[in-house]
Amino acid sequence: MTSPLLLLDVDGPLNPFRSRLAGLRGYTSHRMRPTIWMSRRAPDSRSARRGLRVRLHPTHGPRLLSLPYELAWATTWMHEANTMISPHVGLPADLPVIEWPELFADDPDGLSWKTRHLTAWAAGRPFAWVDDMITPRDRAWVAAHHPAPALLLRIHPRQGLRPADFATLHRWAAGLSAAGR
């Protein structure tokens, strides 16, 4: 049996960017200049010079790697997740990356702009998708259009991944193994 995929977003799950707390327990703050973020800033602006504040937890990588999944990035950071995020959370620098044909494209059915493309990328394999923008509409669409089990786990962008989320991911994958999928 092949392991299920774990399709991982950065902002929200790993970087709780909506948190009002500057010092989230265990998180470290970094200033980064991802391409997508910089493309929306004037090059000489104060924000471009300072960079984007990204809060990351150094134990998230080892905890994710201990889960029975094949990890892949499903983020606007695309390949920069491997170079900018991975070193700070303890993930390998060569994880597969879903490359989006168009960022933030409007969907005719009101789905997340990622839903159809990442479902196609999964190519019929079981997957868990961890993101802060998942809606009930996305869950219903994936359930109706993806031939394998899928877990769409919405993470609150103020909290990031929490112990209960890791437990949910572990339980779901264990359920697949027990079912022989």
Q: Over the stretch 106-158, which tens digit does the pLDDT of each residue have?
A: 989 999 999 999 999 999 999 999 999 999 999 999 999 999 999 999 999 99
pLDDT value, residue 170: 97
| 10: alpha, beta or left? (left if phi > 0; alpha if psi -120 to 50) | alpha
pLDDT value, residue 172: 98
pLDDT category of residue 57 using cuts at 50, 70 and 90: very high
Q: What is the C-alpha separation between 75 and 121, in angstroms, rounded? A: 13
Least confident residue range of 19-23, 134-138, 156-160, 172-176: 19-23
| Other Cβ atoms within 10 Å of 112 Cβ, number | 19
Q: Over the stretch 69-107, which tens digit does the pLDDT of each residue have?
A: 999 999 999 999 999 999 999 999 999 999 999 888 998
State yes or no: pLDDT of 180 exceeds 80: no
| Other Cβ atoms within 10 Å of 121 Cβ, number | 19
Burial class (CB in 10 A: 0-12, 13-18, 19+), 68: middle
pLDDT category of residue 23 using cuts at 50, 70 and 90: low
Element (H, E) at 61: helix 60-65
pLDDT category of residue 21 using cuts at 50, 70 and 90: low
Burial class (CB in 10 A: 0-12, 13-18, 19+), 44: exposed
CA dist list (Å): 22 to 49, 54, 122, 153: 20, 11, 36, 25
Identify the CATH class of 5-16+57-179.
alpha beta
| Other Cβ atoms within 10 Å of 15 Cβ, number | 28
Q: What is the C-alpha separation between 163 and 165, in angstroms, rounded? A: 5
pTM: 0.92
Average pLDDT of every residue of the chain: 93
157: CB partners within 8 A, 6+ apart: 11, 12, 16, 17, 18, 19, 132
State yes or no: pLDDT of 27 exceeds 80: yes
CA dihedral 154, 158, 163, 164 (to 10 degrees): -40
